[in-house]
Chain A
Amino acid sequence: NAGVTQTPKFRILKIGQSMTLQCTQDMNHNYMYWYRQDPGMGLKLIYYSVGAGITDKGEVPNGYNVSRSTTEDFPLRLELAAPSQTSVYFCASSYETLYEQYFGPGTRLTVT
């Protein structure tokens, strides 16, 4: 039981490049989330999903896209990377909104 896994762990992008952050969970959770965490700031919700085929915007969705074709996978796409997207990205999943969220180890992204 691996829980929530994320790849890559680290990445450096040049301005204008694109990439996909991968997230997979093996707990059969319906709910999945993408957060970014900047130094000294709280976690900010980018996108979330309540089940396969259903996604919705969070607090800071601009510059990102997601898809949820299966229960297990919830990739986050960055198009035209900008320095403002330098952050640590966490994927999380939960059984339901009132239950605890389980987090992946994070992806540390630098855009230069």
Chain B
Amino acid sequence: GQNIDQPTEMTATEGAIVQINCTYQTSGFNGLFWYQQHAGEAPTFLSYNVLDGLEEKGRFSSFLSRSKGYSYLLLKELQMKDSASYLCAVLDSNYQLIWGAGTKLIIKP
């Protein structure tokens, strides 16, 4: 079966750095997406990785290791508005997105 694992919840302090991990076992791999979802709202796109390595976009970076079936999202200089759920999703061999359950990130002042 296909499986994506993320921690259910994480807590971090405003101004700090947090790393949200995602491991996956899927039938094929055509890329990995990270989305942000604030409570009661729709997911919004953060990043897409298809090759190994680190992609940096402002305060957010995403890393991929295809051989390990592993990705992480790194958030720097945390702000209160970063309190949200972070969804990891893998595009499988049928080009369908398989979604993790999401990691709820709580930011404390």
Interface residues of A (CB under 8 A from B): 40-45, 48, 58-59, 90, 97-98, 100-106
Contacts and interface: CB of A to CB of B under 8 A. Distances in A.
Contact of A103 (B44, B48, B95): B44
Contacts of B97: 43, 45, 101
A20 B43 CA distance: 22
Contact of A42 (B30, B44, B87): B87
B90 to A, nearest CB: 11
A36 B79 CA distance: 29
A58 B99 CA distance: 13
A98 B31 contact: yes
Contact of A40 (B44, B87, B91, B101): B101
Assign chain B's interface to a size class: 20 to 34
Contacts of B102: 42
Contacts of A104: 42
Interface string B68-109: 000000000000000000010101000111111110000000
28 contacts: A41-B101, A42-B89, A42-B101, A42-B102, A43-B97, A44-B99, A45-B96, A48-B96, A90-B42, A97-B30, A97-B91, A98-B30, A98-B31, A98-B91, A100-B33, A100-B45, A100-B48, A101-B43, A101-B45, A101-B97, A102-B45, A103-B42, A103-B43, A103-B44, A104-B42, A105-B42, A106-B41, A106-B42
B62 to A, nearest CB: 13
Nearest to A99: B48
Contacts of B99: 42-44
Looking at A42, A97, A101, A102, the one whose CB has the most chain B CB atoms below 10 A away is: A42
Nearest to B6: A42
A101 B54 CA distance: 21
Nearest to A59: B96
